[in-house]
């Protein structure tokens, strides 16, 4: 029991001692009740509130000093036991988009697209303990033989860790938060990322079954746009998605999510993204979605799209043109027998639209261009036509038209009338 004189100020050593006492008491009850603190957060909250209430009851008799802010103490204890300790306030802040640790004394966050150095100072032991706790919830591991890891936290946030030794001196940690600000293309219009006409066009393109490549830099909003596009897929179609970690979030009645798996301790059991793309074709898909194309799985995706299966994916690129060039390059990683003579015309005939996103100087994510791929190749260069462009801050109608207007006609859309004149 803590004496009446032990507690003075919420930031005093006595406060820290009291929290440690509460922490030990909560953990003891959690163990005795067989509670998983990561999964049974409601039960842990009840235990914490009971212990804090017991302390407040004792304070009525003068045995202990009443807490200055009992609710704050409950929050701190929950962060310690069920959450992720000192990082939990950043995870709970809806304005923070990403958190990263360069070393224990330099913890950064991104807010509205801008980087900020926080005043949080950790120890190396705290960082290692946080990483261990985060990976425990995901079921993935990191060690000397596997010094990198991608994992998903319980709230849907994406975790990336590079172990000390690969990262100089300290383990490097990135947490990309899943912030659901847009669930449909109309939401992107309200956020200023997209014009109303472009949103209507993209929705019609998804319904028509066009193959769409979403490109952009890191944190440009590619996954968010992919979610919004996927939400326009008709409910009667079967969707299979393949991702490194589960990031896609959209409502659909017939959707199976596939995720890669790390190699096991025995050196076996690895499931690559390429394996998932191949496997998805055996699952009777109406649509295939690949969260992000990075390497040789691009070849398998192209073969699927070229066979008439509609699909979508994301890709890191600085422009729509560079995205197509990268789509032509990545399949070459699949083997020496794959040549550009095969890949370039396959990309030209498989990709229908490229949507490129970027972040402006104010940190706002915007669609910069939507281009249609004509299917023609001249001197190994794939021809494109700009459907929408952003020449001076506003997304406006370009000169181009998408090919295959008959696909739009099948779903009752006159694409020429929808887009209007250039």
Query: Residue 135: which pLDDT band, with cuts at 50, 70 and 90?
Result: confident
Give CATH superfamily name and number for 185-419.
P-loop containing nucleotide triphosphate hydrolases (3.40.50.300)
pLDDT at 13: 63
Give me the pLDDT at residue 349, please: 92
Q: What is the mean pLDDT of residues 276-287?
A: 93
Average pLDDT of the residues in 110-119: 86
pLDDT tens digits for range 300-349? 999 999 888 999 999 999 999 999 999 999 999 988 888 888 999 999 99
What is the pLDDT, as a whole number, of residue 143?
82
Greater model confidence, 257 or 44: 257
Task: State residue 207's pLDDT score.
Answer: 95
Work out the pLDDT band at 278, boundaries 50, 70, 90. Answer: very high
DSSP state of 366: E
Mean pLDDT, residues 124-138 taken together: 83
Alpha helix positions (H), 60-123? 70-81, 88-92
Structure token digits, residue 242: 């393949």
Please compute the mean of the pLDDT values over residues 22-45 and round it to a whole number. 80
Which pTM was predicted? 0.78
Report CA 346 to chain centroid distance, whole Å: 29
Residue 408 predicted with pLDDT over 80: yes
Q: Which residues contact 207 (CB under 8 A, 6 or more apart)?
A: 232, 233, 234, 411, 413
Contact 135, 151 (CB under 8 A): yes
* pLDDT for position 15: 67
pLDDT of 80 higher than 80: no
pLDDT for 12 equals 56
Pairing mode of beta strands 255-259, 239-243: parallel
Q: Which pair of structure tokens corresponds to residue 169? A: 């001196």
Q: What is the pLDDT of residue 257?
A: 95
Q: How far apart are CA 221 and CA 237, in angstroms?
A: 25
CATH architecture of residue range(s) 87-176:
2-Layer Sandwich (3.30)
pLDDT at residue number 52 = 87
- Confidence at residue 274, expressed as pLDDT on a 0 to 100 scale: 92
More confident residue, 12 or 261: 261
At 197 the three-state DSSP class reads: helix
**Residue range 40-66: average pLDDT?**
83
């Amino acid at each position: 029991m803590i004496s009446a004189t032990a507690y003075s100020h919420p930031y005093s050593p006595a406060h820290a001692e009291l929290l440690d006492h509460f922490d030990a008491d909560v953990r003891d009850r959690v163990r005795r009740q067989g509670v998983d603190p990561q999964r049974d957060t409601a039960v842990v909250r009840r235990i914490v509130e009971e212990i804090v209430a017991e302390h407040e009851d004792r304070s009525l008799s003068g045995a202990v000093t009443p807490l200055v802010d009992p609710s704050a103490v409950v929050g701190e204890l929950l962060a310690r036991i069920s959450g992720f300790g000192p990082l939990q306030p950043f995870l709970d802040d809806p304005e923070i988009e990403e958190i990263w640790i360069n070393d224990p004394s330099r913890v950064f966050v991104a807010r509205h697209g801008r980087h900020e150095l926080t005043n949080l100072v950790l120890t190396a032991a705290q960082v290692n303990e946080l990483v261990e706790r985060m990976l425990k919830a995901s079921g993935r591991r990191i060690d000397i033989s596997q010094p990198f890891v991608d994992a998903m936290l319980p709230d849907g946030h994406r975790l990336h860790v590079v172990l000390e030794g690969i990262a100089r001196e300290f383990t490097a940690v990135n947490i990309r938060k899943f912030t659901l600000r847009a669930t449909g293309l109309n939401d992107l219009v309200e956020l200023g990322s997209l014009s109303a006409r472009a949103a209507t066009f993209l929705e019609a393109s998804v319904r028509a079954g066009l193959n769409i490549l979403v490109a952009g830099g890191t944190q440009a909003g590619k996954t968010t746009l992919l979610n919004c596009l996927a939400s326009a897929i008709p409910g009667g179609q079967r969707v299979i998605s393949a991702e490194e970690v589960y990031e896609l979030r959209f409502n659909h009645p017939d959707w199976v999510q596939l995720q890669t798996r790390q190699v096991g301790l025995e050196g076996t059991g690895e499931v690559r993204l390429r394996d998932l793309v191949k496997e998805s074709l055996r699952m009777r898909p109406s649509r295939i979605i690949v969260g992000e194309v990075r390497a040789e799985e691009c070849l398998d995706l192209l073969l699927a799209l070229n066979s008439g299966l509609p699909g979508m994916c994301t890709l890191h690129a600085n422009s729509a043109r560079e995205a197509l060039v990268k789509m032509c390059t990545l399949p070459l990683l699949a083997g020496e027998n794959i040549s550009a003579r095969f890949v370039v015309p396959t990309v030209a005939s498989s990709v229908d639209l490229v949507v490129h996103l970027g972040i402006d100087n104010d940190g706002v994510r915007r669609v910069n261009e939507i281009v249609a791929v004509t299917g023609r190749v001249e001197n190994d260069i794939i021809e494109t036509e700009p459907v929408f462009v952003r020449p001076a801050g506003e997304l406006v109608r370009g000169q181009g038209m998408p090919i295959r207007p008959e696909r739009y006609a099948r779903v009752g859309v006159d694409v020429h009338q929808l887009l209007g004149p250039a």
